[in-house]
Amino acid sequence: MDKNREKQQRVLFQPTGMKIREGNDGQESRTVEGCAVVFNCETVLWDGKYTRHREIINPSCITEDFLKTQDVKLNMLHDREQTVARNNKGVGTLILDLRPDGLYFSAEMPKCDLGDRCLELIRNKTFTGCSFEFLEDEYTMAKNTLADGREDTLVTHTKFKRISALTIAMDPAYKDTSVGLREHFLLREDCREREIAEAKAREAQAKSKKEKTDLDRERELYLMGI
């Protein structure tokens, strides 16, 4: 674990797909189901000019005992004012199903404009996957250099402090990385850009100084008649 790295409230998108469950009569029900968290699946959060950042969620992050202590909402598009279901310490309209490969969920959409809108946007494939919002606790970090010279970071999460929301979402660029984290990656790219520019400037300055020194030496030798 990087002790200098601040623990963050994070959002991670995984395009796992969702569906509306078929009812007993063969007709479409109002129940939405899908997988919100996939274990041991590498997600590339950033793939930039100078850096790449990947993350993996270990199954130890979410256990049955852990879920019994959590208040988890099911939101639309990360908007807490668009909550369509909730599981508060095991009780509520949001059903959480922990399996070996990840955390699955199901929820009957409320009979209101919000529920109708959610169903329609899943039906027409506007919403294609799920995000989950969590506060990280324990993790390991491995860094190496790729063949193209970029810095590669792999973070493996092993424990969450909190999982506060699941979100029905679209598939945006960079897997819906939270704004704060995206700014962090952009800042790292900018810093690397400046480092390279400053190194080139120092190299050019040193080269210019050497050329001037060589020229002065040649002039000195010329004046000495050598």
Delimit the domains of the chain by residue range.
9-177, 179-226
- Say what the pTM is: 0.71
Q: Could you report the per-residue pLDDT of 96-142, keeping only the tens digit for each? A: 999 999 999 999 999 999 999 999 988 888 887 787 888 889 999 99
In contact, 13 and 131? CB cutoff 8 Å: yes
DSSP, collapsed to helix, strand or coil, labels residue 166 as strand
**How many CA atoms, within 13 angstroms, populate the side-chain half-sphere of residue 21?**
12
Range in 15-29, 47-61, 76-90, 148-162 with the lowest mean pLDDT = 15-29
Tell me the pairing of strands 102-108 and 129-145.
unpaired
User: Is residue 181 predicted with pLDDT exceeding 80?
Assistant: no
Compute the mean pLDDT over every residue in the chain, rounded to the nearest whole number.
80
Q: How far apart are CA 8 and CA 52, in angstroms?
A: 19
DSSP string, 107-124: EEPPSSHHHHHHHHHHHT
Banded model confidence at residue 178, pLDDT cuts 50, 70, 90: very low
